[in-house]
Amino acid sequence: MPTTAEPVMSVLRLANEVNALARRYGRDDLSEILTRVAARWKEDVTTVVVAGAQKRGKSRLVNALVGRPGLLPVDADVATNCCLSLRHGPALSAVVTDQIAGSFSIDPEQLADYASVIGDPGKRRDVVSVDITLNHPLLEGVRLVDTPGVDSLTLGHRQVTVAMLQRADALLFTLSAQDQPVLRHELEFLAQAAQRVQAIVLVLTKVEDSENWQSLLAENRRRLAAFIAESGGSSLRPLADAPWMPVSARLYEAATAYRAMGDEQRADELRARSGMIALEAYVRRCAGGRELARSATVLSAAVSVLSAMATVAEDDIAVGSDGGKDAAARLADVEKALEDLAAKTRDRKLRSVVNQFLGQEVAALVRARLTDIRLPYEQAIGELKTSAKIDAYLAQLSDSLERSLQAAWEEILDEVHVLISTALNEFLGSLGLDESEIDLARVAMPKLRPRELRIDPAATGGFDVVREGIPAVSMAASLGLLVAVHLNPAGFVVGPVLAAAVLVRRRQWEKVQRSQTELRRLLIEQFAQATTDLTVALQREVANWRTKIEQVADDALAKQRRELETRRAELRAAANGNAAGRGQGRASAAERLAAVTTLTRRAEALRAEVAGAVNLMADRDDGTETRPGR
């Protein structure tokens, strides 16, 4: 472990000076930011957050790191807005924190019920977090946190993960070798993360089955470099310097299985190929270098405070310059911005009314698609000409409907995704806010309420004396007389036989028609029930998204208003002072800005020094194989 005492002490000295400067000029609000960050300094556990988009292999990676395949549900990242935390303990245990029920212990075997899309919706709905203890050496001094998918599409998930970064000392960000290259929303999340965490490692998962993972890795590097160049700013330095680690949790699990069978040679071979040895070593170095990683977080907070102080100082200088002309111009800009913001707020209310009709549009879409699916079934029923064919068709109908509805669900999700993304991003765009990538592809199809597909024998009818009996007797007599006149007296025997044959054929045909009618009725009822179930599930999801997006808009507008009103008040107060006071304020602001500038330069230099030291933690100094999956 490299010597890190000097950069850490330099960061702490800088943070103390920034804190003192903020207090000296009455900015206790900014001082509080540093106080909150520094409060974590004495924590004796390094928090390593594992984040990434949905289905990028986060949960399986965590399971592999602690040697417990299947411990965390691998679909937990799409299930709830909760984080799953693993720390060291004497035995395996799990404690759920719920918004309604508070904290309570559960059997670890029940984790899927509380943190998985396949679990009980009633149990997982209000879950905030699940804390798991496990006796594993890697967790000594380390807390691993598995987070929900950061697809901004799972907007609540993204917010939860970003909030967790406030308490993170290191970040493992996962990308999959079996999926598409890094996407824009993933890069944007990483940019947010780099504002809070210095120790970032980009983990390329699932390399075991991918023959082109190296070309995908090169493409990911290219996209990241292009994004950094486009965004600019020294705050993205942690991304530019972040190391990449290709790994295979599946090969690592196989190594564990071979070791359990006593095949140490094969286990060691697979373990080396998995790339997980280097990742384990990095996590251990994070535990040993927690003060270094934590100092980077303190440094980021200090830079943020300095930036805020610089803006205020520049305003104060403007107030005392050019007879207040510059200040007046700045004040006019603020007033204009507040007017524009008021207009946006009014527009937000009008547009939210339009958003309320999204659920109805979704319902119409579901009805249209399921009608398209149902019509071929009705056509096929009309082509069934015998009871045997109807029975055979009915026997396979349930499975066929299940496959058709599942396929319809995937198609409907795609269409709803386009509908909702377009509408809600137009809403955000109209307010001058950044778009959000909304993805419904991971929404699980609801379990449809089954209906019994069985033809009631009574529906096909019995023997009707009036409708069938009397005509049959009449037909038999007529045919018998006709045959007897033209042939011989035997016609009185042949006639009834022919009449019976005609009657049987007629009854069979009518039974087929009634069975077809009954089948169509069953089919219509089944699709009506499916339409209701799918519509309710999607409308609930859409309402959830609409509420979250509108809340994000409200929060963003309120924050803008607070910032503008604060700046207006400061400009007015300074402008209303006398010339001498403005002059003194200008001199004081210039002195403050000079101090802020000096500290900012020191902070930027320290950032480079700390980044270099942090990145040494990810160096492969253990001689491990660097080409997993080979």
Same domain, 514 and 598: no
Give the pLDDT of residue 279: 92
Residue 480 in this model has a pLDDT that exceeds 90: no
Residue 237 in this model has a pLDDT that exceeds 50: yes
101 — pLDDT class (breaks 50, 70, 90): confident
Same domain, 250 and 177: yes
Give the pLDDT of residue 127: 80
131 — pLDDT class (breaks 50, 70, 90): very high
620 — pLDDT class (breaks 50, 70, 90): very low
Closest CA to 554 of 335, 333, 351, 339: 351
Q: Which helix (H) or strand (E) holds 175?
A: strand 170-176
414-429 average pLDDT score: 82
Instruction: Identify whether 295 is part of a domain.
Output: yes
Same domain, 9 and 154: yes
366-391 average pLDDT score: 85
Residue 625 in this model has a pLDDT that exceeds 60: no
Residue 465 in this model has a pLDDT that exceeds 50: no
Q: Which is more confident, 102 or 465?
A: 102
144 — pLDDT class (breaks 50, 70, 90): very high
CB-based contact 537:446 (threshold 8 Å): yes
CB-based contact 115:124 (threshold 8 Å): yes
Helix, strand, or coil (residue 538)? helix
Instruction: Identify whether 480 is part of a domain.
Output: no
478 — pLDDT class (breaks 50, 70, 90): low
Instruction: Identify whether 482 is part of a domain.
Output: no
Residue 58 in this model has a pLDDT that exceeds 80: yes
Angle between helices 276-288 and 264-274 (to 10 degrees): 70
Same domain, 222 and 356: no
Q: Which is more confident, 470 or 189?
A: 189
* Predicted model pTM: 0.58
Give the pLDDT of residue 118: 64
Which range among 176-185, 198-207, 505-514, 536-545 shows the weakest confidence by mean pLDDT?
A: 505-514
Tokens encoding 326: 């510059």
Residue 450 in this model has a pLDDT that exceeds 60: no
Give the pLDDT of residue 163: 63
CB-based contact 155:548 (threshold 8 Å): yes
Give the pLDDT of residue 580: 53
Q: What secondary structure, in 3-state letters, does 226-290 show?
A: HHHHHHCCHHHHHHHHCCEEECCHHHHHHHHHHHHCCCHHHHHHHHHHHCHHHHHHHHHHHHHCH
Same domain, 74 and 206: yes
Residue 125 in this model has a pLDDT that exceeds 60: yes
Distances (CA, A) of 555 to 4, 480, 511, 558, 564: 40, 92, 65, 5, 14
Residue 571 in this model has a pLDDT that exceeds 50: yes
Give the pLDDT of residue 463: 47
The CATH number of the domain holding residue 272 is 3.40.50.300
Give the pLDDT of residue 626: 42
Q: Which is more confident, 139 or 451?
A: 139
Which range among 76-80, 220-224, 302-306 shows the weakest confidence by mean pLDDT?
A: 76-80
Give the pLDDT of residue 2: 44
Residue 15 in this model has a pLDDT that exceeds 80: yes
529 — pLDDT class (breaks 50, 70, 90): confident
Give the pLDDT of residue 432: 79
Instruction: Identify whether 128 is part of a domain.
Output: yes
Same domain, 94 and 208: yes
Give the pLDDT of residue 389: 82
Read out DSSP for 186-228?
Answer: HHHHHHHHHTT-SEEEEEEE-TTS-TTHHHHHHHHHHHHHHHH
Please count the structural domains in the chain.
2
460-484 average pLDDT score: 52
Give the pLDDT of residue 76: 47
Residue 109 in this model has a pLDDT that exceeds 80: yes
Closest CA to 345 of 125, 74, 35, 558: 558
Mean pLDDT score of the chain, rounded to an integer?
78
CB-based contact 435:552 (threshold 8 Å): no
Q: Which domain holds residue 230?
A: 5-312+592-616
Give the pLDDT of residue 14: 92
577-602 average pLDDT score: 77
Give the pLDDT of residue 495: 52
Amino acid at 308: A
528-545 average pLDDT score: 86
Instruction: Identify whether 329 is part of a domain.
Output: no
Instruction: Identify whether 529 is part of a domain.
Output: yes
Same domain, 307 and 401: no
Instruction: Identify whether 224 is part of a domain.
Output: yes
Residue 535 in this model has a pLDDT that exceeds 60: yes
Give the pLDDT of residue 205: 92
Same domain, 302 and 440: no
Give the pLDDT of residue 1: 38
Same domain, 523 and 420: yes
First to last CA, the chain: 29
Read out DSSP for 336-377?
Answer: HHHHHHHHHHHHHHHHHHHHTTHHHHHHHHHHHHHHHHHHHH
579 — pLDDT class (breaks 50, 70, 90): low
371-376 average pLDDT score: 88
Give the pLDDT of residue 627: 44
Instruction: Identify whether 579 is part of a domain.
Output: no
Same domain, 306 and 446: no
Give the pLDDT of residue 462: 52
211-223 average pLDDT score: 88
455 — pLDDT class (breaks 50, 70, 90): low
Residue 271 in this model has a pLDDT that exceeds 80: yes
Same domain, 368 and 300: no
Q: How far apart are CA 213 and CA 251, in angstroms?
A: 15
- CB atoms under 10 Å from CB of 594, counted, come to 11
Which of 519, 548, 563 is at the close of a domain? 563
Same domain, 441 and 536: yes
Q: What angle do CA 506, 508, 510 make, to 5 degrees?
A: 70
